[in-house]
Amino acid sequence: MTESKELLSHLHVADIYRGLLTDLVVEWKFRTWVDILVVVDTEIATVPGVEFGIGSVIQLIRSTSVGCMIFRVDIALRNEEPPTVAASPGEFEPRYRGFRFDMQAGGQPVIDKYEQIWCFGFKPSNSGSASDAEIDLPSSFPASNAELAKLAQWMNDRKGGLFGTGDHHFLGASMCRNIPRLGSMRRWTNADRVPPIGTPDRIDTLRPPSPAFEPGAPGGPLDLSNSPHQGDGTPQPIQWVTWQRTPWPIAWKKRPHPVLCHPKLGPINVMPDHAHEGLCIETVDIDPAATFDFDGSGAKPEYPNAVGGGTKPMPAIIAYGSTLGDPPYNFLKGPQPARSSFPMISVYDGHLAGVGRVATDSTWHHWMDVNIADLKAADGNDWKKISRYYINLAVWLNPPGLKTHCLWYTTLISHFDYPGFEEYWPERPVIELGDVLRRHLYKIYGPCWVTERIWWELIWVRKLFPWEILRERDRLFDFGGIDPELIENLFLGNLVKATFDTADAIKKAANSGSKKVELKTTIPDEYFERELESSIKDVLERFEAHYSQTLDLLRSARK
């Protein structure tokens, strides 16, 4: 009940309805908490304000709610201590010490308590050795086969979401390099050709904070150095990759991946800069047939086939970075070539293959207090975008279902908030109802999240359109077919229609002083999907006919 009250505390809902809506969360058995386990090596601090640490990000995630999602974060420390669990750790102290991924507490696997695991690895060391032997030394606490077997089972069976990163050279490799998917989405070892800390092969993304550092400055450009310029208020620009595009009605509309989509400011196109980042791996360099076997039970595919057939889901680079050249710039660490792009952020949508999602980043310096303190203090658009990147990952990495439940519940709540409170009525055309709900959802989640919910986890997974038409989706839109937003509005409008009865029952109960609402079912998926499929059926048939005609035209044009 406590979490339900916290869920509604930030919503613009009249007090008369709060009790009934809170009870509904309980009766529908909604899971509104998202539990995240942050795993760190000893070198990485978790207290806000400590420069070489991620405490400010932990603090941000804990204080954030997105729609019906409220985040809880526990900390786990990998060190030489025996495994221990603190019942009431300090706010930024580890709950788990001597942590290993197969650790148990009360006879149950620790990681099974969490929807997500975020790994920030430092070990084996910052030695810069050309040998990878350090990675597997006992003093580096490398992830054992027993740990990896448990973690793989959690990712596959529980569909847990995983994020992990390190930095230049082999920083973070001991914890992360053998984790399925994560290990092959980023460079972790010398054998992987990791970028070094120095030499022209490093990835130095520092940006000039003033004209004095630009070529042509009187007396020559000043030196760009890791300290203080990685922590100044000038971030690096990044190049986001188009995730969705449509040519409707007269100009291309493009959107980034939901992880890089701000609800109000558009694409997230900046990151903190740093003098020696790591590298992610392009999809073409990842083996789609790779397998693992940590427990001797037989080889399992690292990248499973798509559920229901179709193209095998593989990791994708969603953002590229770039470097300035020395010369003409002047880097204290020495010359480097100007690079137009290098792979910076990679994601894997395991839900399409029936497993958990994975994400990785070129460096944990995009997350550390030393890099974000000035940006955070300025609280400008750069910080708003960068901080939303962390929040978006906390939303995107969730197992299937939780985000869909948030769509269900937010749709119902929209009847009691503006603009739905004024602009919903049963006789209104369904597409207009959908447009009202869209504006409400955009304020909370942003446009990319809304599109992802509808197309990939509701329409695609449930095959509400015939499979053959879905396979032609991108081609249809590229050739000027129906704007996908019209279909999304249709879908959203029918969600609104499906919730009219429950919303009216809540309003009547509140106005009569009743403390109970009779529900058709206590299973929200059953309620929404039954109502939705019934109300959407004949309209989908009309769209199917339109698509069939469009396909016929396209096929005849190709003859």
Dist CA 490 CA 11 (whole Å): 25
DSSP 395-438: HHTSPTTHHHHHHHHHHHHGGGSTTHHHH--TTS-HHHHHHHHH
- Average pLDDT on 292-307 reads 96
Q: Is 14 helix (H, G, I), strand (E, B) or coil?
A: coil
Given pLDDT bands bounded at 50, 70 and 90, which one contains residue 14?
confident
Dist CA 420 CA 406 (whole Å): 17
- Tally of CA atoms within 13 A in the half-sphere of 399 that contains its CB: 21
Contact indicator for 336, 295 with CB cutoff of 8 Å: no
Q: Does the N-terminal peptide bond of residue 419 adopt cis geometry, omega within 30 degrees of 0?
A: yes
Least confident of 290-304, 328-342, 493-507: 493-507
Amino acid in position 135: I
DSSP 311-363: SPP--EEEEEEEE--BTTS-BTT--B--EEEEEEEEEE-GGGGTS--EEEES-
Q: Is 308 helix (H, G, I), strand (E, B) or coil?
A: coil
pLDDT value of position 171:
98
Given pLDDT bands bounded at 50, 70 and 90, which one contains residue 417?
confident
- Average pLDDT on 192-216 reads 96
Q: What angle do CA 369, 232, 189 make, to 5 degrees?
A: 60
pLDDT value of position 65:
87
Give the pLDDT confidence of 91-147 residue by residue, as tens digits: 999 999 999 999 999 999 999 999 999 999 999 999 999 999 999 999 999 999 999
Given pLDDT bands bounded at 50, 70 and 90, which one contains residue 449?
confident
- Average pLDDT on 183-211 reads 97
Q: Are strands 270-271 and 236-237 parallel, antiparallel or unpaired?
A: antiparallel
Dist CA 122 CA 175 (whole Å): 8
Given pLDDT bands bounded at 50, 70 and 90, which one contains residue 531?
low
Contact indicator for 353, 306 with CB cutoff of 8 Å: yes
- 461 Cβ contact partners less than 8 Å away, ≥ 6 residues apart: 307
More confident residue, 8 or 506: 506
pLDDT value of position 228:
94
pLDDT value of position 467:
46
Dist CA 403 CA 117 (whole Å): 17
pLDDT value of position 465:
54
Q: Which of 326, 285, 291, 317 is nearest to 305 (CA)?
A: 291
pLDDT value of position 505:
87
pLDDT value of position 13:
77
Task: Give the predicted TM-score (pTM) of the model.
Answer: 0.90
Amino acid in position 264: K
Q: Which of 256, 389, 239 is nearest to 322 (CA)?
A: 239
Question: Hey, where are the domains in the chain?
Answer: 32-398, 403-558
- Average pLDDT on 235-240 reads 98
Tokens coding 220: 């020559």
Given pLDDT bands bounded at 50, 70 and 90, which one contains residue 271?
very high
Cα dihedral 220/224/227/229 (nearest 10): 110
pLDDT value of position 157:
96
Q: Are strands 358-361 and 161-165 parallel, antiparallel or unpaired?
A: parallel
pLDDT value of position 229:
96
Given pLDDT bands bounded at 50, 70 and 90, which one contains residue 499?
confident
pLDDT value of position 67:
79
pLDDT value of position 6:
52
Work out the mean pLDDT of the chain and round it to a whole number.
Answer: 87
Residue 265 has pLDDT above 60, yes or no: yes
The percentage of the chain sitting over the pLDDT mark of 70, rounded to a whole number, equals 82
- Average pLDDT on 168-191 reads 98
* CA–centroid distance for 38 within its chain: 15
Given pLDDT bands bounded at 50, 70 and 90, which one contains residue 406?
confident
Residue 379 has pLDDT above 80, yes or no: yes
pLDDT value of position 533:
66
The percentage of the chain sitting over the pLDDT mark of 90, rounded to a whole number, equals 63
